[in-house]
Amino acid sequence: MAESQLQLVARRVRSFPDFPKPGILFRDISPLLKDPNAFQASIELLADHLKENHKTKIDYIAGLDARGFLFGPSLAQKLGIGFVLIRKRGKLPGPTVSTIYSLEYGQAELEIQKDAIEPGQKVVIVDDLMATGVQLRPGCCCHLPHQLETAHNHEIWTWTFCTWMPAAKCL
């Protein structure tokens, strides 16, 4: 059954070359979101992946602004855990931790509320796409999760993506 779910999800992700600028291959998840069966399959596949690969307790799913917000809450609900926002700079109230990082088509800055995750809690970060310009290290990506791991004793276990691009660089 997992293979048919995977095929259903794959059929609902479109590719648009040279968007938003030349050299970028944009993966459009709009058809996936329009199809309730495909969306449910994507959440079930992600939840199954996390259950199989993380035998101990996950405390939170954290979602990246903005498309991580589409998958993160449903995934967190499926797993029976909470959801934490990682937003673009200036969108969260109160004290935050932030970082600037490079994308394949520019720069972005993300932040999380300082009290969103307690020391020692285990977090899985979810987004819709692992993009070509993102440099991954095992267990974390860009600098924000690394800052949380080192300065605040959080455990960022993994990044989970609905789709991926083969040219992503894994460090």
Amino acid at 23: G
Active-site residue flag, 52: no
Closest CA to 31 of 162, 165, 161, 126: 162
Write down the catalytic residue from 14, 27, 44, 67.
67
Which long-range contacts link 148-152 to residues 24+ away (Cβ below 8 Å)? 148/97, 148/112, 148/117, 148/123, 151/97, 152/97, 152/114, 152/117, 152/119
Q: Coil, strand, or helix at residue 49?
A: helix
Catalytic one of 44, 89, 104, 149 = 104
Whether 137 is a known active-site residue: answer: no
Residues marked active site are found at 67, 104
